[in-house]
Structure 1
Amino acid sequence: MNARLDRVWQAINAERLHKILLELLDIYSPSGKEEDILLYLEELLSRAGCKVERQEVEDQRYNLRVTMGQGEPLLYLVGHVDTVPARDLEGFGAQVDNGIIRGLGSADMKGGCASMVEAWLALIDALESAELPAVGLLLVVGEEENGDGSMTFLQTCRVPWVVIGEPTGLAACFAHYGYLEAGFVTKGQTIHSSLPELGHNAVESMLRVLLHVGKDSLFDRKSSEIVYSIREMSSSQGGFVVPDRCETWIDLHLPPDIDPADVQESLRRIVSGADRYIPGLDLKIAFNFVSRGYNLGTDNELARLLEEVYPRINLPLRLDAFRSHSDGNLFFAAGIKPLILGPGILETAHMPDEQVSFGEVLAAARIYAALCLGMEDVETKS
C-alpha cells in the first residue's frame, strides 16, 4: 500500500479541499432541503469523471452514490449532507479564522464530507484505472431527522464496512452509544389563570414528574453512565389560562452494553409510582425512537490499518465510543460494521459557534484515502 498511498497523499490538494469545505458551508442544507448541496456535489464529482448515481429517497430528495474499482465495494465512505436548521439565516455560512473554520455543519458533518470528497478526488487523480480500490462514496440526506437517506441505501446495498465522518476529533470509534427518545405527556384541567386552585396545571405536574425521575440513581450524572437530557418542553397555549397539557421530550444516550429495553422498563417503573407524590397525575409515556448501541472491538482489519496510518501523519491513535446518535446504529442493525471517525468535536456541533480545525479536515482526507487503499490490500491477503 505504501507506494500507492504516498502518491495519493501527494495528490490531496489542501487548497481544493479548503475551497470545497467553504462552498459546502455556504449552501444552506437543513434536513428536507438538501437538493442545492447535492447538485453542487454531483457536478463536482461528475466533472472529475465519476459516474454519480442518484438514489431516490422521496420526491426531490435523493442520496448520491459513487463507486470505483472492480467488483463490489469493500468499504463505503459515508457522509450526511444535511444540518439542523439555522438559528440565523444571515450568519450560517463559512467564516475562516487562523485555521479554524466556523459555520453551520462545519463539524456535523460538512468537514467530514469535504474530507471524503477530497480523498476520492485524490484517488482518481493519482491512480490508474486498474489501480483504483473497490470502494464507494455515499452522501446521504436526512440524518439529522430520521435517517431516511441511509435507510434507502440499506434497502438495496450491503457492504462489509462503512466509515462515517461524524465529529470525533479524529478518534476512531469502533463502539457507539445507543439512543432512546422518551416522550412524556401530562394532562390537567384548564381554568382562568387567576383561579389555579379550581383547575389542574399540567406544567406543574410535568415539572414534578421530571424532578421525580431525575432523583433516581439511573440518571445520576455523577454515578450513572446513561446520558439523560431534557431536550424540550411545550404546553397548551390558550391565553390567560392554566395549561391542560404539557409535553416533554427526553434524550437518553446509552453505553453500548446497555439494552434500551431495560431502560424503558426502568422508566416505566419509576413513573408508575409518581402519582403517590403528585395529586391528580395523568401521565402517558411513549418511546418513539429506539436504537441499540454496539461495540465492534479493535481486533479487526480497520483498527490494524489505523495503527499503521496514524504514526505516518504524526497523530496518536485514540479509541473511543461515539456518544451521540448517528446513522451508524442503522448500519450496524443491518449487519454492516461502522467505524465513526471524522474531524471536529461534538461539543460545538449544533451550536452557534460550530467549528472545525482545517488541520483535522486535511488529516481526515489522508486517513480516508489510506483506509480505502488498505481495505483492498486486506482483502487481497485474505
Structure 2
Amino acid sequence: MLLKKLAEIESPSGKEKELKEFVRNYLEEHGYAVVENELFLLANRKSDLLVSTHLDTVKTKAKFRIEGNYAFGTGVADAKASLAAILEAARKGVDYSLAFFCEEEETGRGSKAFLDYWDGKYAIVMEPTNLKIASKHLGCIEADLVFRGIPCHASMPEFGVNAIEKALLAYLNLSKKFKVSILRIDGGSYEYVIPDKCSARFDFLLEPGELQIAMEELKNLDAEINIIEAVDGFYSKKSAEILARAMELSGITPEYTTMPSWTDACNLAKKFDVVVWGPGELRYCHTEWEKIDLKQIETAVKVLQRLNDVLQ
C-alpha cells in the first residue's frame, strides 16, 4: 500500500529528506522530469494548473495502523493521504504541474521559495477538507504578547496590577470581535504575589479583509507584541471552478467549505488563484487520533484524473 510506505517514512518538518527522495524517485520512474530544490519538488513544470501538497508532518504521535476502512497515524491525513492520491494519479498519467513542499507545518518556506519557479495561473493545494472544496480561506495572525503588571502581596490585590488578568481581559475583549484562541500562556508563581508579567500566544482566524482591523486592535493593547505570522484570507475563483468540474465528471456533487488553518495556499495566493481540497478530516490532525478513510483516497485519485479532461 502506497500510503503505508509514505506514512512509515517519518518526515517531521525540517527532516523531509528521505521522503523527498522517495517521491522524486517515484516520479522519475514513471517518466516525469523533476526539478528539485532544497525546499520543494516540481514536476511537469509547463502547465497553467498546479496540484500540490506538503511532505512534512508534525512530530510523530502515533504509528501507522489500519482498522477496517481507516488508516491511523501521524500524517496519514495531513497530508500523506493527499500525497498518496497525487502519486497514484501521476502513475496513471497527469497533464498538469505537481509540487511537493517542505516545512509547511512550521516555517512555510517550501511554498514561499516555490513562487519564483512556476509561471502558471491556477493551483489546488491538497489538505484535509473531507473532499469539500475550500473556496474560502481564512487569514490569521499569530502573535506573542507580554503583559506587564505591578506586583504586591497577594492578600492585597488592590495595590497591584495582575498581569495574568490583563492578558485574560485582552483575550475576552478580542474574542467578542474575532475568532481568537490562546495557544499558550505563562505567568505567575507560587510565592503568593500578584504576577507582574504574563506571556501568551494569541492565534486569530480572520475572515478575508479583517487583517488590518485585527492588527489595529492588537496595536491598541497595553502589551509588548511580536507578530509571528499575519496573512489575510482570500477567495478562490477559477481554481474552485476547475476542481468542481472535475468532481462533477467523477460523478460527485461538489460541496463547499472554508479552510480555517494556515496552509501553503496562503503563500501561493500571492501570485496564483488557489483553492484547497483533499481527503481527511482536519479536526483529527496533529493528534494521536489522526485518521483517514481509505475510500477518500480512491475518490481523490479519480478526481485528479478527471482534471486532465477539464484541461482539454
Tell me if both proteins adopt one fold, taking TM over 0.5 as the criterion. yes
- State the 1:268 CA deviation: 3.8
Alpha-carbon distance in structure 2 between the residues aligned to 1:346 and 1:190: 42
1:73 equivalent in alignment to 2:34: no
Distance 1:76 1:297, change over 3 A: closer
Structure 2 CA distance for aligned equivalents of residues 85 and 199 of structure 1: 42
Aligned to 2:41: 64
Letter in 1 for 2:145: F
State which of 92, 96, 101 in structure 1 corresponds to 2:71: 101
Match of 1:261 among 168, 187, 212: 212
Cα distance change of structure 1 residues 51 and 241 upon mapping to structure 2, 3 Å threshold? farther
Aligned twin of 1:4: none
**Alignment partners' CA distance in 2, 1:247 and 1:32:** 27
- 2:59 matched residue in structure 1: 85
Unmatched runs of 5 consecutive residues or more in structure 1: 1-18, 57-61, 124-131, 220-226, 272-281, 378-382
Q: Is the 8 A contact 2:247 2:303 kept in 1?
A: no
Which of 297, 304, 307 does residue 368 from structure 1 map onto?
304
* Correspondence for 1:22: 4
| Cα deviation, residue 291, structure 1 | 1.0
- Show the counterpart of 2:290: 354
Q: In the comparison of the two structures, how many residue pairs are matched?
A: 311
CA deviation map 1:212-264 (0-9, x unaligned)? 444x3x14xxxxxxx32211113488x858554322111111223x3300122
Q: Which residue of 2 aligns with 1:289?
A: 229
Which structure's CA Rg is the greater one? 1
Match in the other structure for 1:325: 262
Higher helix share: 1
Which residue of 2 is the match for residue 3 of structure 1? none
SS in 1 for 2:41: strand
- Name the Cα RMSD after superposition: 2.7
Query: How many angstroms apart in 1 are the aligned matches of 2:239 and 2:298?
Result: 27
> Relative to structure 1, is the Cα distance of residues 144 and 305 closer, same or farther in structure 2, using a 3 angstrom cutoff?
same
Output the CA distance in 2 between the equivalents of 1:46 and 1:189: 63
- Structure 2 residue ranges without an equivalent (≥5): none
> Is the counterpart of residue 339 in structure 1 residue 290 in structure 2?
no
* Kept after mapping to 2: 8 A contact 1:74/1:375: no
Report if the CA contact (8 A) 2:124-2:239 is conserved: no
Work out the CA distance in 2 between the residues paired with 1:149 and 1:203.
37
Give the drift of 1:201.
Answer: 4.9
Partner SS state of residue 156, structure 1: coil
TM-score, normalised with respect to structure 1: 0.73
Shift of 1:286: 3.9
Residues 53 and 82 in structure 2, CA contact (< 8 A), matched pair in contact too? yes
Give SS of 1:159's match.
Answer: coil
In structure 2, the residue matched to 1:145 is 106
Paired residues for 1:1-382 under 5 Å: 19-56=1-38, 62-67=39-44, 72-86=46-60, 88=61, 92-123=62-93, 133=95, 135-188=96-149, 201-214=162-175, 216=176, 218-219=177-178, 227-235=179-187, 244-256=196-208, 258-269=209-220, 271=221, 283-297=223-237, 301-303=241-243, 305-306=245-246, 308-311=248-251, 315-334=252-271, 336-371=272-307, 373-377=308-312
Distance in 1 between residues matched to 2:40 and 2:121, nearest whole Å: 20
